[in-house]
Structure 1
Amino acid sequence: MNKQSIQIALAYMSVVIGGGFASGQEVLQFFTGYGLIGIVGTLVSGVLFAFLGMQIARMSSQMQANSHKEVLYRLFGSRIGLLVDVVLSFFLYGVGVVMLAGSGSIFTQEYNLPPLFGGVLMTVLVIATLCLNVKRIINLISAVMPFLLAMVLLITTYSIFSYNASVEALDAAARENNETVTGNWFVGALLYASFNIAVGFPMLAVIGGMTKQPRAAAVGGVLGGLGLGALILLLNIGLFANINQLQGIEMPALALSGRISPILSVVMSIALVCMIYSTAVGMFFAFSARFAKPDTRRFKLVSAATVCVGLVLSLGGFSKLVGTVYPLLGYVGFALILAIAFSWLRSRSAAKAQQAGLNAIS
């Protein structure tokens, strides 16, 4: 394991963590709402995160890809790849909008400020960051990850050991009082992994392409995927243990921190803003890069315009946007998963055929 592997793992996790489970609302709808069986769902998603992260990072490194479009074209061909790219870009923009809405919800729930305040603040931060060059953006996103991990681990660990109801009662409360994205926990787990892979794919492809060692890139993808799986599992258990006290709350993770300490709640709100910020930057970067080359004046103008439009769209509300955009993006992500799995099987078959040929010659 080297520095590049660790950087890839941290960047992979930081891009996904803001959109995937920082607020707790996502985990609530995809896992906790199914009750105890939702814990198994987190394990399914964790395995998929590791496998898919490894394949994307390695493929990008082998290609020395400059953008996710190159990887999409390799997976799907030029025509279908273009279609997938357009659809994916549209939904990634939707995730960026959700992040702006999430920022508004944080400042409303924690500080009783209008949602527009948090949205405008995040808009300014994202636009300012997108005016930096690509390497600085990646370094900035990677740098905030250790702080975010520490906060999530602290909150969830305390919550797991402070539950005050029987497991049976919590299971019943989770199933009866919470909306889920689909009627089946396994489909929910697949959707969760697929939409998060779609979210992390553009940035992971760019980072992998900047790495000249495919093996190091693959290790980074695996580490990031396993780290995400572990965090999702912990957060899901923490939410489940306190599900009877989290009804109707848009930011469950923030509510859990408030039960520990008012000061910790403030610190957690800052951490959540950082998580959402890291994902918002990744999403708007990927979308803007679809229309302009990064590090150019045109890119900065496109970024500013798209983020401002996103601010207006974010006024639709955080929970509603999560329940609408994420499942739809999950179905788009299924196409990515199938294409990556097919590419992996094809490469394994080619490697076996080559080895068999070498054995026959010798």
Structure 2
Amino acid sequence: MNKHSWQIALAYMSVVIGGGFASGNEVLQFFTGYGLAGIAGSVVSALLFAFLGMHIARISSIMQADSHKQVLYSLFGRQAGLIVDVVLSFFLYGVGVAMLAGAGSTLAQQFGLAPLAGSVLMTLLVIGTLCLNVRGIINLISAVMPFLLVMILAITIYSIYTSTGSQGELNQAAEQVQVITFLGADVPNWALSGLLYASFNIAVGFPMLAVIGGLTKSHKSAALGGTVGGLGLGLLIIILNVGLFANMDKLLNIEIPTLVLAQAIHPWLAIMMSLALICMIYSTAVGMFFAFSARFAAPETRNFKLLSAVFAVVGLGLSQVGFTKLVGTVYPMLGVVGLVLIVAIGVSWMRTRKQNSTSE
């Protein structure tokens, strides 16, 4: 793999992982609540992440796209693509708001600060970052990924090794977890939950992945970066899911489960983990507000910076609803948009394969 492939892989992982994943909150609701069967659901998501990342990055590289709108128009046509773009932008803004709430919850749980203080801090960081150029934004969100990767792997693997709960106790605790809801009802099984997790996350990662792929001239390097990033995401999901299940008896009604696991190892590790969480919340928040603001103004322009600041401040007010509530409501609805994207990407992939076989 070359430099461009690694950059795509790391940025893809950074934007998708964000606060909900790294906190353990998403994984708890989408997978761990189904007990051991949730591991199979995480494998479903892993395979989808790799396939979707490969194809999105490849299409964007071929088009040399500088916006996710170009890729959407390629997948859906101009009129339908515009509709999908508007709906997607609306829900991406909701994810950005959830990240501001996540920053508040993380600092409140670890340091006892008022949730509003953490949300204000994150809002200021987002506004400052969006005043940079596109390449600078991508470099920043890619740089924080290795730190979180090491932290998540170390904490979850140690937590699995030191788990003291019996399988019966863990299953009983997992049954008390409020699994994710979709269209007003609990998702009934792990397979559908795995599909929905991939669908809403690919909707989250799609705009930034499309921009990064467009900066890469080599189609193969772009596709490889998307594939490796997707597989990396899948591996993290599986490990974190097992780690949460192994300690389920200690994690009920906890908003930031990974902080509890870190605290059980050493207080200083919990502080490092909280900083890592803030970094990942930051990377996703930047990606979401970037994509939303780019819907109304060209990046790096004065209007873009002004709108970014306005949207972030409004999002700060909306974020006071609460992190867990936002994850449980905004994310599943974004999953509907993601399902539409998955179908369109699958059709595009089959069409490309058919064209290649015909030309041979």
TM-score range, shorter chain: over 0.9
1:75-86 equivalences under 5 Å are 75-86=75-86
Aligned equivalents of 1:178, 1:246: Cα separation in 2: 12
2:71 corresponding residue in structure 1: 71
Instruction: State which of 249, 265, 277 in structure 1 corresponds to 2:254.
Output: 249
Letter in 2 for 1:3: K
1:23 corresponding residue in structure 2: 23
1:317-356 equivalences under 5 Å are 317-355=322-360
2:308 corresponding residue in structure 1: 303
Aligned equivalents of 2:177, 2:224: Cα separation in 1: 40
| Match status 1:287 vs 2:295 | no
Letter in 2 for 1:84: V
Asked if the contact 1:26/1:322 (under 8 Å) is kept, the reply is: yes
2:171 corresponding residue in structure 1: 171
Report deviation, 1:27. Answer: 0.3
Aligned equivalents of 1:150, 1:240: Cα separation in 2: 20
- The alignment's C-alpha RMSD in Å is 0.8
2:138 corresponding residue in structure 1: 138
Aligned equivalents of 1:112, 1:86: Cα separation in 2: 38
Alpha-carbon deviations, 1:80-103, whole Å to 9, x = none? 000000000000000000000000
Aligned equivalents of 1:76, 1:206: Cα separation in 2: 18
Report deviation, 1:221. Answer: 0.2
Asked if the contact 1:157/1:234 (under 8 Å) is kept, the reply is: yes
Report deviation, 1:186. Answer: 1.0
| Match status 1:236 vs 2:208 | no
TM-score, normalised to structure 2's length?
0.97
Alpha-carbon deviations, 1:237-271, whole Å to 9, x = none? 00000001101100001111111111110110000
Letter in 1 for 2:334: L
1:76-115 equivalences under 5 Å are 76-115=76-115
Asked if the contact 2:173/2:252 (under 8 Å) is kept, the reply is: no
Aligned equivalents of 2:162, 2:133: Cα separation in 1: 45
Unaligned runs of 5+ in 2: 182-186
Instruction: State which of 207, 211, 215 in structure 2 corresponds to 1:210.
Output: 215
Aligned equivalents of 1:180, 1:140: Cα separation in 2: 31
1:10 corresponding residue in structure 2: 10
How many corresponding residue pairs? 355
* SS, match of residue 176 in structure 1: coil
Aligned equivalents of 2:67, 2:321: Cα separation in 1: 31
Report deviation, 1:178. Answer: 3.5
Unaligned runs of 5+ in 1: 356-362
